[in-house]
């Protein structure tokens, strides 16, 4: 267990023992006590709150492993379990704020804690509640930065997919969707708990000052804003997945069109092969010379291929593969009725009076 005592507002960090941290909390000095319990559970079965000199039974959950997101208010102190973005992972930090102290408990090093200590000389909090609000503001900023960074990665991935789709794009997209789901799954319980806790505190404590009411409302709006950004990130990842599926479907349709063209080209050849393989009187008696065989065979083959190329490749598939609209489609109707009737072979009916003879 690593115990650090931070003097406020100087921000000087001092490594100490748990007993000395308990004395500093009992002296009612404006301090921050940070406790890193480590991955192994402590050998003492006594709750951490009692070891710190906190006699209220409502804080026995402090430092307990696998504690869900929560927020409590007892005897002027606020305690909560908040999710924190730490790189690619989400960890939970236990926070207890009183009038003159702030206690943070976690099981491994967290970059947010060190950044919070470094900003203390600039922020200069006046009491424990102000320190708690500053810490929670850092938590919200961490989620906002993670959501914004993931959103930019999704947009860059969409641009790469539109330029040239690669097989590894689907793996990156799946990773980004898991990241968005991870942020949403971690932050949604805290948003619900914070909304309930801040509303109940404003309603229960009628003597709260206007400054603290403003801080509560600001924190509540920040929570809702972060939740909206995470929801928009999830929608963006779903849209990127739909875009990838559409690109795959378009490529499959293109391959099917090419196979259809190849089958149309070789279908007359297979018909001619079967036709000349039939033994009936005309083929066995009339086609007695090489010239007649070549004339009939080549003429039928060239005519069949010409008709297939004209009606299938040129009029529909070939224009689609080259990027142009097929004739007779809705794209030809945009140029006016004269252009559309020219291809359909219909003559527009005159709307004027029939001339007299």
Which of the four pLDDT bands, split at 50, 70 and 90, describes residue 351?
very low
Kindly tell me if the per-residue pLDDT of 300 is higher than 60. yes
pLDDT above 90 (res 76): no
The confidence band for 332, taking pLDDT boundaries of 50, 70 and 90, is very low
Half-sphere exposure of 151 (CA within 13 A, CB side): 16
Residue 312 has pLDDT above 50, yes or no: yes
Mean pLDDT along residues 38-55 = 75
Lowest mean pLDDT among 175-189, 243-257, 290-304, 316-330: 316-330
Query: Which one-letter DSSP state was computed for residue 47?
Result: -
Q: Residue 50: exposed, middle, or buried by beta-carbon count in 10 A (0-12, 13-18, 19+)?
A: middle
Pairing of strands 77-86, 31-36: unpaired
Q: Report the DSSP pairing between strands 101-106 and 89-97.
A: antiparallel
Given pLDDT bands bounded at 50, 70 and 90, which one contains residue 181?
very high
Rounded to an integer, what distance in angstroms lies between the CA atom of residue 220 and that of residue 196? Answer: 10
Greater model confidence, 208 or 151: 151
Select the more confidently predicted residue: 270 or 235: 235
How much is the pLDDT for 284? Answer: 67
Q: Is 135 exposed, middle or buried (0-12, 13-18, 19+ CB in 10 A)?
A: buried
In degrees and rounded to multiples of 5, residue 236 shows phi and psi of: -65, -40
pLDDT of 157 strictly over 80: yes
CA geometry: angle at 35 spanning 34 and 41, to 5°? 165
How confident is the model over 266-273, as a mean pLDDT?
75
- What number of helices (H) and strands (E) belong to the chain? 10, 7
Average model confidence (pLDDT) across the chain: 78
Residue 32 clears pLDDT 80, i.e. is over it: yes
For 104, residues 6+ apart whose C-beta sits below 8 A from its C-beta are: 32, 33, 34, 35, 93, 94, 95, 96, 113, 135
The answer to whether residue 185 scores a pLDDT higher than 90 is yes
Residue 17 pLDDT > 70, yes or no? yes
Q: Give residue-wise pLDDT tens across range 115-132.
A: 888 888 888 888 777 888
> Residue 319 — pLDDT band, cuts 50, 70, 90?
low
Q: What is the pLDDT of residue 330?
A: 46
> Distance between CA 6 and CA 104 in Å, rounded?
11
* Per-residue pLDDT band at 266 (split at 50, 70, 90): confident
State how far the Cα of 101 lies from the Cα of 303, in Å rounded to an integer: 94
Tokens 């010409």 belong to residue: 306
Q: Which of 97-111, 226-240, 287-301 has the highest mean pLDDT?
A: 226-240
DSSP state of 1: -
Q: Residue 269: its pLDDT value, please?
A: 73
């Amino acid at each position: 267990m690593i115990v650090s005592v931070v003097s406020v507002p100087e921000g000087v960090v001092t490594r100490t023992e748990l007993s000395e941290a308990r004395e500093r909390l009992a002296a009612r000095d404006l301090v921050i006590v940070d406790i890193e319990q480590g991955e192994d559970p402590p050998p003492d079965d006594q709750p951490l709150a009692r070891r710190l000199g906190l006699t209220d039974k409502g804080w026995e959950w402090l430092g307990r492993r696998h504690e869900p997101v929560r927020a409590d208010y007892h005897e002027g102190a606020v305690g909560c379990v908040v999710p924190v973005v730490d790189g690619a992972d989400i960890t939970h930090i236990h926070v207890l704020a009183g009038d003159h102290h702030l206690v943070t408990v976690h099981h491994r090093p967290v970059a947010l804690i060190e950044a919070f200590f470094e900003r203390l000389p600039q922020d200069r909090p006046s009491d424990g509640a102000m320190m708690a609000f500053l810490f929670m503001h850092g938590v919200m900023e961490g989620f906002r930065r993670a959501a914004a960074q993931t959103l930019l990665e999704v947009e860059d991935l969409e641009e790469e997919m539109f330029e040239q789709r690669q097989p590894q794009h689907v793996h990156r997209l799946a990773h980004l969707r898991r990241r968005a789901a991870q942020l949403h799954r971690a932050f949604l319980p805290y948003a619900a708990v914070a909304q309930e806790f801040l509303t109940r505190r404003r309603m229960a404590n009628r003597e709260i000052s206007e400054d603290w009411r403003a801080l509560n409302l600001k924190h509540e709006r920040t929570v809702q804003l972060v939740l909206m950004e995470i929801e928009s990130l999830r929608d963006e990842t779903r849209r990127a997945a739909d875009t990838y599926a559409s690109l795959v479907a378009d490529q499959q349709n293109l391959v099917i069109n090419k196979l259809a063209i190849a089958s149309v080209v070789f279908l007359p050849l297979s018909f001619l092969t079967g036709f000349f393989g039939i033994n009936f009187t005309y083929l066995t008696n009339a086609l007695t010379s090489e010239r007649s065989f070549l004339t009939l065979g080549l003429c039928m083959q060239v005519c069949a291929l010409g008709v297939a190329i004209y009606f299938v490749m040129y009029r529909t598939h070939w224009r689609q593969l080259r990027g142009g609209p097929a004739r007779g489609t809705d794209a030809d109707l945009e140029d006016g009725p004269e252009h559309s009737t020219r291809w359909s072979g219909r003559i527009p009916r005159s709307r004027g009076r029939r001339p007299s003879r």
